[in-house]
């Protein structure tokens, strides 16, 4: 079983963080909006965009959970172990 690093592979197979995933997603949307891609390229861009969107949503949910854990119980300086969702 692999550890969930909160990252998703980019087109070259290397892992990207949230900011890079968002930047890539914005670039894909821009290219698709221009309408200059072939049908095949558009489908590939769409598939990649869906994967990046899911990755970004998961990263945001994880960050939200961490903030909730850190601010729980009347603002006490109490930190609980964080277990990410098993999607």
**How many other C-beta atoms can be found within 10 angstroms of the C-beta atom of residue 22?**
16
Tell me whether residue 40 is in a domain. Answer: yes
- Residue 73: its pLDDT value, please? 65
Tell me whether residue 3 is in a domain. Answer: no
Domain residues for the domain of 40 are: 9-71
Chain mean pLDDT for the chain: 79
- Residue 84: its pLDDT value, please? 73
The domain that holds 41 is classified in CATH as 1.10.287.1040
Number of separate domains in the chain: 1
Q: Do the strands 15-16 and 8-9 form a parallel or antiparallel pair, or are they unpaired?
A: antiparallel
Angle at 17 between CA 49 and CA 75, to 5 degrees: 115
Question: What is the Cα–Cα distance from 11 to 21, expressed in whole angstroms?
Answer: 11
- Residue 59: its pLDDT value, please? 92
Segment 1-24 mean pLDDT? 65
What is the Cα gyration radius of the chain? 17
Tell me the whole-structure pTM to 2 decimals: 0.65
Tell me whether residue 60 is in a domain. Answer: yes
Q: Which tokens go with 37?
A: 């891609």
Tell me whether residue 52 is in a domain. Answer: yes
């Amino acid at each position: 079983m692999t550890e969930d690093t909160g990252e998703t592979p980019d087109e070259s197979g290397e892992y990207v963080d949230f900011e890079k995933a968002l930047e890539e997603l914005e670039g894909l949307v821009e290219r698709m909006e221009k309408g200059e891609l072939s049908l095949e390229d558009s489908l590939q861009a769409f598939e990649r965009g869906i994967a990046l969107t899911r990755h970004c949503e998961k990263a945001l949910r994880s960050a939200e959970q961490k903030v909730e854990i850190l601010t729980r119980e009347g603002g006490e300086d109490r930190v609980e172990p964080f277990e990410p969702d098993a999607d």
